[in-house]
Amino acid sequence: MDVFATVVLVIGIALVFDFTNGFHDTANAMATSVVTGALKPRVAVTISAVLNLAGAFLSTEVASTISNGIIREGDGVSVTPVMIFAGLVGAVLWNLTTWYLGLPSSSSHALFGGLIGAAVIGAGFGSVDFSVLLAKVVLPALVSPFVACVVALVATYAAYRITRNATARGSVAGFRHGQTISASLVSLAHGTNDAQKTMGVITLTLVAAGYQNSGTAPQIWVTIACGLAIALGTYVGGWRIIRTVGKRITDVQSPQGFAAETSSAATILISSHLGFALSTTQVTSGSIVGAGLGKRLATVHWGVVGKIATAWVVTLPAAALVGGLAAWLASSGSIGLIIVAVLAVVGGGTLYVLARRHPVNHENVNDSDEAPASESADKEGSVAR
C-alpha cells in the first residue's frame, strides 16, 4: 500500500477516534444537567455539539503537545503512518469497550497509550519522549482529579451556605438556569482540549509522511474536520456513560451540578492554555465526587468511584498493548495492515451489536440501570411502538 493511501486510511481512523471521543465524553459536560432536569437530553447534546465545534478553533497548544512532543520525529527516529494507524486502532477499540461498559474512562489516555504502544513496537523506546509524557500527561492526570474535587467541594459548600436562607424552590430554579451556562462552558472547554488531540495525530501523520514540515501547526482543513467529527459524535450522545456519571457516582442536585460543571470548565480551560493534554473525564468525575462531598449528608458511591479509578489506571497500558499488537501485525506489509483494519471493524461492530441488546438512549437515560432486563425490554418495546 503506497504512502498516500496509508495516510488517507490513518486520517479516516483518526476522525473515527474523534467521533468516538465526542460521544464517549459527552457525559463530561452534560450528565449532571440531564440528571437534574436543567436541560432536556436532546437539547443538552445539541448545545454540547455546537460548543465542541466552536472550542476546536480556540487554541492549538494541546495539538502541538502531541504532534511535536510525546512522539519524537527525527534524530534517527522514524515514526510511520502505519504506526500511527495501529495506535489509533488501540484507542478506538478501548473507547468502544469502555462505552459498552458505561465507564467514563479517558479517551486521551487511550489515544496516548495506543500511540506509545505502536511507536515502541515500531521504532523502539527512543521514539517516545517520556519526559514530555510525564510532565504533560501523567502528572496532570494524577493531580487534576484532586484539584477539581477540592474546587467543586468548596464551591458546593459555598453554594449551599449562600442560598441557605433562600426558598428551596427559588434556589433550585436559579441553579438550574446556571447549569445551562456552566455545562456550556464545559463543552467549550472540551472542544479546546480534546478535538486538538486528533488534530495533533493527523498533523503527526502528515509530518511522518513528508506532507508537512515538522514543528508546524495543524492545517485549517484538519481543524475543521476534527471539530466537525467530535461535534457529530457529541450529538449522537454517549448515553451509557451519561447515566454512570450523572446517576451512579452521587445523587446530584442542581447546586452540586452547577458547582461541578463550573469547576471542571475552569480546570480544563486553564490546562488547555498551558498545553496540558488533560483528561476531561477525570476532571469531571473528580468534580462530581467533590460536589457530593460538599453537600451535607450527601452520599458518594465509592464502589462506583473505585471501578472508574481502576479503568483510569488500566486505560493507558491496555490501549498500548492493543496498539503494540496492531503495529506488530501491520508492519508485515499491506496484508497485515488490511487484517488490522478488518479486525478493528469486527471488534467495533461486535461491541455495537452487544450494546443494542440493552440500549441506553435519550428516552431512558435517567432510568435506573438496576432495572430488570425484562422491564428494560418492555420499555424499549413501548418506545418502538
- Provide the pLDDT for residue 77: 59
Partners of 71 in beta bridges? 128
Q: How far are the Cα atoms of 107, 333, 382 from residue 289, in angstroms, in the given order?
A: 20, 48, 35
The answer to whether residue 370 is domain-embedded is: no
Segment among 176-190, 268-282, 371-385 with least mean pLDDT: 371-385
Between 379 and 356, whose confidence is greater? 356
The Cβ of residue 181 has, within 10 Å, a number of other Cβ atoms equal to 12
Say what the pLDDT of residue 92 is: 92
Q: What's the pLDDT at 173?
A: 67
Beta bridge partners, 297, equal: none
Say if 374 falls within a structural domain.
no
For 306, the grid coordinates are: 473505585
Residue 77 backbone phi and psi in degrees, to 5 = -100, 130
Amino acid, single-letter form, for residue 281: T
- 278 within a domain of the structure (yes/no): yes
Q: Radius of gyration over alpha carbons of the chain, in Å?
A: 21
- The span from the CA of 360 to the CA of 89, in Å, is 25
Q: Residue 32 sits in which domain range?
A: 3-363
Q: Which of 170-174, 261-265, 345-349 has the highest mean pLDDT?
A: 345-349
Task: Indicate whether 338 belongs to any domain.
Answer: yes
Number of domains in the chain: 1
Q: Encode pLDDT of 114-139 as tens digits.
A: 989 998 998 888 888 888 788 877 88
Identify the top-confidence range among 88-97, 119-128, 373-382: 88-97
The 3-state DSSP composition of the chain as helix, strand, coil percent (nearest 5) reads: 80, 0, 20
Torsion of CA 239, 227, 5, 78, to 10 degrees: -100
Report if residue 310 sits inside a domain: yes
Q: In this model, does residue 270 exceed pLDDT 90?
A: no
Specify if 376 maps to a domain: no
Res. 371 pLDDT band, cuts 50 70 90: very low
Q: What digits encode the pLDDT tens for the residues 195-238?
A: 777 888 898 888 888 888 877 778 899 989 988 998 898 888 77
- Predicted confidence at residue 215, as pLDDT, reads 74
**pLDDT (0 to 100) of residue 370:** 47
Mean pLDDT of the chain: 81
Identify whether 381 is part of a domain. no
Model confidence band, residue 108 (pLDDT cutoffs 50, 70, 90)? confident
